[in-house]
Protein backbone atom coordinates (compact mmCIF):
# COMPACT_ATOMS: atom_id res chain seq x y z
CA UNK A 1 0.00 0.00 0.00
CA UNK A 2 2.83 2.41 0.91
CA UNK A 3 4.71 1.64 -2.35
CA UNK A 4 1.53 2.27 -4.32
CA UNK A 5 1.13 5.73 -2.74
CA UNK A 6 4.80 6.53 -3.46
CA UNK A 7 4.36 5.60 -7.15
CA UNK A 8 1.26 7.83 -7.44
CA UNK A 9 3.13 10.77 -5.90
CA UNK A 10 6.11 10.26 -8.25
CA UNK A 11 3.78 10.20 -11.29
CA UNK A 12 2.13 13.46 -10.21
CA UNK A 13 5.54 15.09 -9.71
CA UNK A 14 6.64 14.05 -13.23
CA UNK A 15 3.46 15.50 -14.77
CA UNK A 16 3.86 18.75 -12.81
CA UNK A 17 7.51 19.08 -13.82
CA UNK A 18 6.64 18.51 -17.50
CA UNK A 19 4.01 21.24 -17.32
CA UNK A 20 6.53 23.70 -15.87
CA UNK A 21 9.32 22.82 -18.30
CA UNK A 22 7.09 22.79 -21.45
CA UNK A 23 7.28 26.12 -23.28
CA UNK A 24 4.17 28.26 -23.41
CA UNK A 25 2.41 28.52 -26.73
CA UNK A 26 4.23 31.03 -28.89
CA UNK A 27 2.55 34.42 -29.32
CA UNK A 28 3.22 36.44 -32.47
CA UNK A 29 4.05 40.11 -32.01
CA UNK A 30 3.64 43.17 -34.25
CA UNK A 31 5.07 46.58 -33.36
CA UNK A 32 3.52 49.61 -35.07
CA UNK A 33 5.02 52.92 -36.08
CA UNK A 34 3.13 54.77 -33.31
CA UNK A 35 4.63 52.48 -30.65
CA UNK A 36 1.60 50.21 -30.23
CA UNK A 37 2.17 46.47 -29.88
CA UNK A 38 -0.32 43.84 -31.07
CA UNK A 39 -0.09 40.27 -29.72
CA UNK A 40 -1.89 37.32 -31.28
CA UNK A 41 -1.60 34.59 -33.91
CA UNK A 42 -0.32 35.54 -37.36
CA UNK A 43 -2.69 34.55 -40.17
CA UNK A 44 -1.65 36.03 -43.50
CA UNK A 45 0.00 38.89 -45.38
CA UNK A 46 -1.15 39.99 -48.82
CA UNK A 47 -2.07 43.11 -50.79
CA UNK A 48 -0.14 45.31 -48.36
CA UNK A 49 -2.08 44.07 -45.30
CA UNK A 50 -0.98 41.80 -42.44
CA UNK A 51 -3.73 39.77 -40.74
CA UNK A 52 -3.43 38.71 -37.10
CA UNK A 53 -5.96 36.95 -34.84
CA UNK A 54 -6.18 38.53 -31.37
CA UNK A 55 -7.96 37.52 -28.17
CA UNK A 56 -9.21 41.05 -27.50
CA UNK A 57 -10.41 42.30 -30.91
CA UNK A 58 -10.81 39.27 -33.16
CA UNK A 59 -9.10 39.42 -36.56
CA UNK A 60 -7.22 42.62 -37.35
CA UNK A 61 -5.86 43.82 -40.70
CA UNK A 62 -2.83 46.07 -40.33
CA UNK A 63 -1.32 48.12 -43.16
CA UNK A 64 2.17 46.79 -43.85
CA UNK A 65 3.54 50.33 -44.07
CA UNK A 66 2.57 50.92 -40.41
CA UNK A 67 4.70 48.00 -39.15
CA UNK A 68 8.28 48.58 -37.89
CA UNK A 69 8.82 45.31 -36.03
CA UNK A 70 7.37 41.80 -36.11
CA UNK A 71 8.04 38.36 -34.62
CA UNK A 72 6.30 35.29 -36.04
CA UNK A 73 7.16 31.83 -34.69
CA UNK A 74 5.70 29.55 -37.40
CA UNK A 75 7.42 28.43 -40.61
CA UNK A 76 6.60 30.69 -43.55
CA UNK A 77 7.05 31.06 -47.30
CA UNK A 78 7.91 34.63 -48.30
CA UNK A 79 7.36 36.08 -51.76
CA UNK A 80 9.37 39.23 -52.50
CA UNK A 81 8.75 41.98 -55.04
CA UNK A 82 11.76 40.88 -57.13
CA UNK A 83 10.20 37.43 -57.65
CA UNK A 84 12.29 35.63 -55.02
CA UNK A 85 10.51 32.95 -52.95
CA UNK A 86 12.13 32.23 -49.58
CA UNK A 87 11.38 29.61 -46.95
CA UNK A 88 11.81 31.00 -43.44
CA UNK A 89 11.80 29.34 -40.04
CA UNK A 90 9.84 32.06 -38.35
CA UNK A 91 10.08 35.72 -39.25
CA UNK A 92 11.61 38.66 -37.48
CA UNK A 93 11.35 42.28 -38.56
CA UNK A 94 13.51 44.89 -36.85
CA UNK A 95 13.70 48.52 -37.91
CA UNK A 96 11.53 47.69 -40.96
CA UNK A 97 14.16 45.20 -42.15
CA UNK A 98 13.62 41.44 -42.50
CA UNK A 99 16.09 39.30 -40.60
CA UNK A 100 16.38 36.14 -42.72
CA UNK A 101 18.45 32.96 -42.66
CA UNK A 102 21.62 32.55 -44.71
CA UNK A 103 19.46 31.19 -47.56
CA UNK A 104 18.63 34.75 -48.59
CA UNK A 105 21.02 36.17 -51.15
CA UNK A 106 20.46 39.70 -49.90
CA UNK A 107 18.79 41.65 -47.15
CA UNK A 108 15.22 42.76 -47.72
CA UNK A 109 13.13 45.59 -46.33
CA UNK A 110 9.62 44.86 -45.09
CA UNK A 111 8.31 47.08 -47.92
CA UNK A 112 9.73 44.54 -50.43
CA UNK A 113 7.59 41.72 -49.02
CA UNK A 114 4.74 41.03 -51.45
CA UNK A 115 2.94 38.26 -49.57
CA UNK A 116 3.41 35.47 -47.03
CA UNK A 117 2.36 31.88 -47.72
CA UNK A 118 1.27 32.60 -51.33
CA UNK A 119 -1.28 30.42 -53.08
CA UNK A 120 0.10 28.13 -55.85
CA UNK A 121 -1.33 30.36 -58.61
CA UNK A 122 0.47 33.37 -57.11
CA UNK A 123 3.72 31.49 -57.75
CA UNK A 124 2.79 30.78 -61.37
CA UNK A 125 1.18 27.36 -60.86
CA UNK A 126 -2.39 27.07 -62.15
CA UNK A 127 -5.34 29.47 -61.86
CA UNK A 128 -7.27 31.22 -59.14
CA UNK A 129 -11.04 30.75 -59.55
CA UNK A 130 -13.58 33.22 -58.23
CA UNK A 131 -17.12 34.18 -59.04
CA UNK A 132 -20.57 35.33 -58.04
CA UNK A 133 -24.10 33.98 -58.50
CA UNK A 134 -27.05 36.14 -57.49
CA UNK A 135 -30.78 36.64 -58.01
CA UNK A 136 -33.28 39.42 -57.35
CA UNK A 137 -36.92 38.33 -57.08
CA UNK A 138 -40.06 40.35 -56.41
CA UNK A 139 -43.61 38.98 -56.33
CA UNK A 140 -46.81 40.87 -55.51
CA UNK A 141 -50.36 39.47 -55.46
CA UNK A 142 -53.68 41.24 -54.95
CA UNK A 143 -54.74 44.50 -56.59
CA UNK A 144 -51.32 44.55 -58.27
CA UNK A 145 -49.91 41.32 -59.65
CA UNK A 146 -46.20 41.57 -60.29
CA UNK A 147 -43.46 38.98 -60.76
CA UNK A 148 -39.85 40.03 -61.40
CA UNK A 149 -36.76 37.82 -61.66
CA UNK A 150 -33.23 39.10 -62.28
CA UNK A 151 -30.25 36.75 -62.35
CA UNK A 152 -26.49 37.09 -62.71
CA UNK A 153 -23.60 34.60 -62.84
CA UNK A 154 -19.92 35.57 -63.08
CA UNK A 155 -16.78 33.42 -63.25
CA UNK A 156 -13.10 34.39 -63.35
CA UNK A 157 -10.01 32.21 -63.85
CA UNK A 158 -6.78 34.16 -63.31
CA UNK A 159 -3.07 33.31 -63.40
CA UNK A 160 0.05 35.45 -63.48
CA UNK A 161 0.05 35.34 -67.29
CA UNK A 162 -3.57 35.42 -68.41
CA UNK A 163 -7.20 35.63 -67.35
CA UNK A 164 -10.54 34.19 -68.49
CA UNK A 165 -13.82 35.96 -67.68
CA UNK A 166 -17.38 34.77 -68.24
CA UNK A 167 -20.65 36.43 -67.23
CA UNK A 168 -24.34 35.89 -67.94
CA UNK A 169 -27.24 38.00 -66.72
CA UNK A 170 -30.82 38.82 -67.57
CA UNK A 171 -34.34 39.51 -66.36
CA UNK A 172 -37.91 38.31 -66.86
CA UNK A 173 -40.72 40.59 -65.60
CA UNK A 174 -44.50 40.10 -65.68
CA UNK A 175 -47.22 42.56 -64.56
CA UNK A 176 -50.95 41.81 -64.34
CA UNK A 177 -50.32 38.50 -66.10
CA UNK A 178 -48.57 40.17 -69.06
CA UNK A 179 -44.86 39.87 -69.67
CA UNK A 180 -43.22 43.32 -69.96
CA UNK A 181 -39.51 42.52 -69.89
CA UNK A 182 -37.40 39.64 -71.16
CA UNK A 183 -33.69 40.00 -71.89
CA UNK A 184 -30.38 38.23 -71.42
CA UNK A 185 -26.68 38.84 -72.11
CA UNK A 186 -23.67 36.49 -72.23
CA UNK A 187 -20.08 37.80 -72.39
CA UNK A 188 -16.76 35.93 -72.63
CA UNK A 189 -13.32 37.55 -72.53
CA UNK A 190 -9.69 36.44 -72.58
CA UNK A 191 -6.85 38.67 -71.32
CA UNK A 192 -3.14 38.19 -71.84
CA UNK A 193 -1.15 39.94 -69.12
CA UNK A 194 1.72 42.12 -70.32
CA UNK A 195 4.51 43.99 -68.54
CA UNK A 196 3.25 46.14 -65.70
CA UNK A 197 -0.47 46.78 -65.50
CA UNK A 198 -1.21 46.52 -69.25
CA UNK A 199 -2.93 43.62 -70.99
CA UNK A 200 -4.54 42.83 -74.32
CA UNK A 201 -7.33 40.45 -75.15
CA UNK A 202 -10.32 39.47 -77.21
CA UNK A 203 -13.97 39.14 -76.36
CA UNK A 204 -17.33 38.07 -77.68
CA UNK A 205 -20.89 38.65 -76.50
CA UNK A 206 -24.48 37.80 -77.37
CA UNK A 207 -27.54 39.75 -76.23
CA UNK A 208 -31.31 39.59 -76.65
CA UNK A 209 -34.00 42.08 -75.60
CA UNK A 210 -37.32 41.25 -77.23
CA UNK A 211 -39.15 44.25 -75.76
CA UNK A 212 -36.57 46.51 -77.42
CA UNK A 213 -37.17 44.65 -80.73
CA UNK A 214 -33.66 43.13 -80.45
CA UNK A 215 -33.65 39.46 -81.41
CA UNK A 216 -29.86 39.11 -81.19
CA UNK A 217 -26.86 41.44 -80.97
CA UNK A 218 -23.44 39.79 -81.29
CA UNK A 219 -20.05 41.45 -80.89
CA UNK A 220 -16.54 40.13 -81.36
CA UNK A 221 -13.22 41.95 -81.37
CA UNK A 222 -9.87 42.79 -79.73
CA UNK A 223 -9.10 45.33 -77.02
CA UNK A 224 -6.31 46.69 -74.85
CA UNK A 225 -6.71 47.26 -71.13
CA UNK A 226 -4.96 48.58 -68.06
CA UNK A 227 -5.30 48.22 -64.31
CA UNK A 228 -4.87 51.82 -63.17
CA UNK A 229 -5.31 51.18 -59.44
CA UNK A 230 -5.19 47.81 -57.64
CA UNK A 231 -5.41 48.76 -53.95
CA UNK A 232 -8.62 47.37 -52.33
CA UNK A 233 -9.51 50.90 -51.21
CA UNK A 234 -9.81 51.84 -54.90
CA UNK A 235 -9.52 49.45 -57.84
CA UNK A 236 -9.92 50.83 -61.35
CA UNK A 237 -9.61 48.90 -64.61
CA UNK A 238 -10.49 50.05 -68.13
CA UNK A 239 -10.43 48.59 -71.65
CA UNK A 240 -10.94 49.96 -75.15
CA UNK A 241 -11.01 48.31 -78.55
CA UNK A 242 -12.82 47.67 -81.82
CA UNK A 243 -15.51 45.09 -82.55
CA UNK A 244 -17.59 43.73 -85.38
CA UNK A 245 -21.25 44.07 -84.37
CA UNK A 246 -24.28 42.37 -85.88
CA UNK A 247 -27.81 43.35 -84.81
CA UNK A 248 -30.85 41.26 -85.79
CA UNK A 249 -34.20 42.85 -85.00
CA UNK A 250 -37.66 41.34 -84.72
CA UNK A 251 -39.32 43.92 -87.00
CA UNK A 252 -36.76 46.62 -87.83
CA UNK A 253 -34.06 46.32 -90.49
CA UNK A 254 -30.99 44.35 -89.42
CA UNK A 255 -27.60 46.08 -89.39
CA UNK A 256 -23.88 45.28 -89.24
CA UNK A 257 -21.07 47.70 -88.44
CA UNK A 258 -17.65 48.25 -86.88
CA UNK A 259 -17.89 49.81 -83.44
CA UNK A 260 -15.58 51.34 -80.86
CA UNK A 261 -15.99 49.56 -77.53
CA UNK A 262 -14.95 50.30 -73.97
CA UNK A 263 -15.34 48.86 -70.46
CA UNK A 264 -14.74 50.51 -67.06
CA UNK A 265 -14.80 48.61 -63.76
CA UNK A 266 -14.36 50.14 -60.31
CA UNK A 267 -14.32 48.49 -56.86
CA UNK A 268 -13.73 49.89 -53.37
CA UNK A 269 -13.83 48.63 -49.77
CA UNK A 270 -13.85 52.22 -48.48
CA UNK A 271 -16.89 51.62 -46.25
CA UNK A 272 -15.15 48.72 -44.47
CA UNK A 273 -16.71 45.63 -42.99
CA UNK A 274 -15.96 43.62 -46.16
CA UNK A 275 -18.52 45.72 -48.02
CA UNK A 276 -17.91 46.59 -51.67
CA UNK A 277 -18.81 49.64 -53.72
CA UNK A 278 -18.80 48.91 -57.44
CA UNK A 279 -19.36 50.48 -60.83
CA UNK A 280 -19.52 48.60 -64.15
CA UNK A 281 -19.83 50.51 -67.41
CA UNK A 282 -19.72 49.31 -71.04
CA UNK A 283 -20.15 51.19 -74.28
CA UNK A 284 -20.49 50.61 -78.02
CA UNK A 285 -20.18 53.46 -80.52
CA UNK A 286 -21.36 52.80 -84.07
CA UNK A 287 -18.57 54.19 -86.28
CA UNK A 288 -20.84 54.11 -89.35
CA UNK A 289 -23.59 56.13 -87.64
CA UNK A 290 -21.89 58.31 -85.03
CA UNK A 291 -25.18 59.27 -83.37
CA UNK A 292 -25.83 55.63 -82.35
CA UNK A 293 -24.33 54.73 -78.97
CA UNK A 294 -25.19 51.88 -76.59
CA UNK A 295 -24.27 52.50 -72.92
CA UNK A 296 -24.83 50.20 -69.94
CA UNK A 297 -23.99 51.41 -66.42
CA UNK A 298 -24.51 49.74 -63.04
CA UNK A 299 -23.67 51.29 -59.66
CA UNK A 300 -24.16 49.41 -56.40
CA UNK A 301 -23.06 48.38 -52.94
CA UNK A 302 -22.60 44.78 -51.78
CA UNK A 303 -22.31 43.69 -48.16
CA UNK A 304 -21.53 40.30 -46.58
CA UNK A 305 -24.25 38.39 -44.74
CA UNK A 306 -22.97 34.91 -43.83
CA UNK A 307 -20.18 32.63 -45.12
CA UNK A 308 -19.94 33.88 -48.69
CA UNK A 309 -23.57 34.95 -48.92
CA UNK A 310 -23.96 38.64 -49.71
CA UNK A 311 -26.67 41.18 -50.30
CA UNK A 312 -26.50 44.06 -52.78
CA UNK A 313 -28.45 47.14 -53.77
CA UNK A 314 -27.86 48.59 -57.23
CA UNK A 315 -29.24 50.77 -59.98
CA UNK A 316 -28.69 50.23 -63.72
CA UNK A 317 -29.14 52.49 -66.74
CA UNK A 318 -29.29 51.12 -70.31
CA UNK A 319 -29.15 53.81 -72.98
CA UNK A 320 -29.46 53.13 -76.71
CA UNK A 321 -29.56 56.30 -78.83
CA UNK A 322 -30.17 54.15 -81.91
CA UNK A 323 -33.21 52.40 -80.44
CA UNK A 324 -35.80 51.09 -82.84
CA UNK A 325 -38.72 53.47 -83.40
CA UNK A 326 -41.48 52.86 -80.90
CA UNK A 327 -39.13 51.66 -78.14
CA UNK A 328 -37.61 53.65 -75.27
CA UNK A 329 -33.99 54.84 -75.49
CA UNK A 330 -33.40 54.61 -71.72
CA UNK A 331 -34.19 51.82 -69.25
CA UNK A 332 -33.65 52.42 -65.52
CA UNK A 333 -33.75 49.50 -63.08
CA UNK A 334 -33.40 49.29 -59.28
CA UNK A 335 -32.51 45.93 -57.71
CA UNK A 336 -31.98 44.28 -54.34
CA UNK A 337 -29.85 41.17 -54.85
CA UNK A 338 -29.03 38.09 -52.81
CA UNK A 339 -26.03 36.09 -53.94
CA UNK A 340 -23.10 33.84 -53.15
CA UNK A 341 -19.50 34.82 -53.93
CA UNK A 342 -16.36 32.69 -53.86
User: Per-residue pLDDT tens for 66-120?
Assistant: 898 888 888 888 888 887 888 888 888 888 888 876 455 467 888 888 888 888 8
Closest to 30 (Cα-Cα) out of 119, 123, 120, 116: 116
Q: What's the confidence (pLDDT) of residue 143?
A: 58
Q: What's the confidence (pLDDT) of residue 8?
A: 56
User: Per-residue pLDDT tens for 138-192?
Assistant: 776 665 566 889 999 999 999 989 999 999 999 998 887 788 788 999 999 999 9
How far is the C-alpha of 188 from the C-alpha of 169, rounded, in Å? 12
Confidence of residue 342 (pLDDT cuts 50, 70, 90): confident
For residue 16, pLDDT over 90 is answered with: no
Closest to 162 (Cα-Cα) out of 196, 131, 200, 203: 200
For residue 239, pLDDT over 90 is answered with: yes
Burial of 75-101, coded b for 16+ CB within 10 Å and e otherwise, reads ebebbbeeeeebebeebebeeebbebe
Query: ∠112-113-117 over CA atoms, to 5°?
Result: 160
Region 273-280: what's the mean pLDDT? 91
Q: Is the pTM of this model over 0.85?
A: no
Confidence of residue 45 (pLDDT cuts 50, 70, 90): confident
Q: Which CATH number fits domain 128-341: 2.70.150.10, 2.40.160.40, 3.90.10.10, 3.30.160.340?
A: 2.40.160.40
Q: Which residues pair with 4 in a beta bridge?
A: none
Q: What percent of the chain has pLDDT over 70?
A: 88
Cα end-to-end distance, the chain, whole Å? 65
Q: Do 285 and 258 form a contact (C-beta atoms < 8 A)?
A: no
Mean pLDDT of the chain: 86
For residue 27, pLDDT over 70 is answered with: yes
How far is the C-alpha of 127 from the C-alpha of 190, rounded, in Å? 14
**Neighbour-count burial of 3, counting CB atoms closer than 10 A to its CB (0-12 exposed, 13-18 middle, 19+ buried):** exposed
Q: Which residue has the higher pLDDT, 122 or 157?
A: 157
Residue ranges of domains in the chain: 28-118, 128-341
Q: Which residue spans within 210-308 are E strands per DSSP?
A: 214-231, 234-249, 255-268, 276-286, 293-306
Q: Which residue has the higher pLDDT, 205 or 4?
A: 205
Closest to 109 (Cα-Cα) out of 174, 64, 160: 64
Q: Which residues pair with 184 in a beta bridge?
A: 170, 208
Region 280-296: what's the mean pLDDT? 95
Q: Which residues pair with 129 in a beta bridge?
A: 157
Amino acid sequence: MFLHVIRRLMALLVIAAAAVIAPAQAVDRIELRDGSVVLGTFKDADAGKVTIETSFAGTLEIAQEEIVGMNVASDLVLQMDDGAVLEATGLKVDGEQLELEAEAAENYALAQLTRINPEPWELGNGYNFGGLASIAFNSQKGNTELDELDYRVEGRWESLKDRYRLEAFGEVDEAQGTKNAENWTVRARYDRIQTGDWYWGGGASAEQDLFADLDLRTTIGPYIGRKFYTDPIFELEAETGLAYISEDFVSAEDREYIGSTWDVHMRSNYLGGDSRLYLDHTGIWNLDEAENIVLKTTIGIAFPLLKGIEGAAEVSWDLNTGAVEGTEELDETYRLRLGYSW
